Structures are given as C-alpha cells and as structure tokens.
C-alpha cells in the first residue's frame, strides 16, 4: 500500500478532555519551570522519566534524554499530544501523511512526506492522533529534557522500523507492557 501526503485538520479535544492547544500550553509552562526540570534524575546510559499530573485527565511525563538517545519510529495510536524541549535540543523526524490506523504490517511511503524539525529549549509542538515520528537527542555531549502530554492517556504505542520508503509495524505496546 502506498501512502501519500495529506494535510489534516487541526487537533482538538473530544469535548471531555483538554485540546491540543491546552496540552501545548501545559508542556510549555512545565518546561519553563527550572525547579521541575531539575527534579528529573539524569542517567548517562538511558532515558529517564517522571510522571506529571497533566491537565483534564491527560497523561504527562518529564523525560530525560542522554546524548545520542532516541525513541525509534512510533506513534501514540488514538492519543493526540504535545511536547516541548525544556533543556538541550531534540530533533523530530515525522511523516506528513495520514496512515491507515489498523490492518497493515508494511507500507510503502510516497516521496516528499518526510519532515524534520529541531526543537531547542522552549520550543515545542502538538500532534494529532496516529502521528508517526521519532525523537532524537543528536548531541554527543549534552542531555536534553522534555515535557510530553497525551490525551486520552496512552492506550497503546505502535513501534515501527523503517528502511528507505518501507515502514513496517514491528510491535504494539500497551500500558501493562511499561510497568
């Protein structure tokens, strides 16, 4: 199946929870609070995280990124969200395409859908449901710290591998897998 470029509507809440704009405002406020950012223990070997109380029933996290770390390609399934870099810098690679939500294992991606953005301290973004991306700390010397929020709380994360234009669903994780 080939996937091309689409531009989707802006993200909004379901009426019973926060909107993407509210999540972005929240992660920006938290990222600007040095006391909260400094509360995260940093590990030189792996990512660290602390749960935060997110607005309106959202799930929120403070995440530490050692030099050279990243998430790999993934999406947050039925959750939309936002994240902001609190210190250091992160790079996000994403796909500007709406992918089928279920029922596939391998997709051939159309050309021109790759996007990259640098997110220095204080910069962030929101994203829609089924947003496929990877987030990286490309620094070889400096930790990065970021704040993330999702709504509804993450029901699953889908992890992908990518070789050129081929995106392959590798695994589906559920909250009980993260315990």
Task: Write out pLDDT tens, residues 20-65.
Answer: 999 999 999 999 999 999 999 999 999 999 999 999 999 999 999 9
More confident call, 16 vs 178: 16
Name, in order, each residue with C-beta under 8 angstroms of 11's C-beta and a sequence gap of 6 or more. 19, 20, 80, 126, 127, 128, 129
**102-143: per-residue pLDDT in tens?**
788 999 999 999 999 999 999 999 999 989 999 999 999 999
Name the H helices within the chain.
Answer: 20-31, 34-38
Q: Tell me the domains of the chain and their CATH numbers.
A: 2-178 (2.60.120.10)
Q: Sheet holding 2-3: strands in order across?
A: 2-3, 106-109, 166-173, 157-163, 74-75, 133-136, 89-95, 114-120
Q: Please report the pLDDT score of residue 15 as a whole number.
A: 59
Q: Please report the pLDDT score of residue 107 as a whole number.
A: 93
Is residue 174 pLDDT above 70, yes or no? yes
Q: Please report the pLDDT score of residue 14 as a whole number.
A: 46
**73-106: per-residue pLDDT in tens?**
999 989 999 999 999 999 999 999 888 877 889 9
Strands (E), the chain: 2-3, 48-53, 59-65, 74-75, 80-87, 89-95, 106-109, 114-120, 124-127, 133-136, 144-151, 157-163, 166-173
Q: For strand 106-109 and strand 2-3, is the pairing parallel, antiparallel, or unpaired?
A: parallel
Round to whole Å and give the CA distance between 121 and 140.
17
pTM above 0.75, yes or no: yes
């Amino acid at each position: 199946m080939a996937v091309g470029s689409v531009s989707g509507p802006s993200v909004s809440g379901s009426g019973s929870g926060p909107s993407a704009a509210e999540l972005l405002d929240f992660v920006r406020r938290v990222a600007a609070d040095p006391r909260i950012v400094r509360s995260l223990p940093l590990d030189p070997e792996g990512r660290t995280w602390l749960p935060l109380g997110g607005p309106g029933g959202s799930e929120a996290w403070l995440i530490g990124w050692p030099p050279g770390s990243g998430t790999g390609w993934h999406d947050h399934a039925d959750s939309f969200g936002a994240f902001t870099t609190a210190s250091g810098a992160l790079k996000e690679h994403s796909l500007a395409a709406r992918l089928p939500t279920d029922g596939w294992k391998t997709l051939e991606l159309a050309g021109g859908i790759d996007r990259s953005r640098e997110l220095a301290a204080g910069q962030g973004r929101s994203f829609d449901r089924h947003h496929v991306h990877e987030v990286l700390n490309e620094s070889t010397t400096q930790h990065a710290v970021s704040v993330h929020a999702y709504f509804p709380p993450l029901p699953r994360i889908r992890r992908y591998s990518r070789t050129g234009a081929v995106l392959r669903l590798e695994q589906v994780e559920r909250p009980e897998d993260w315990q």
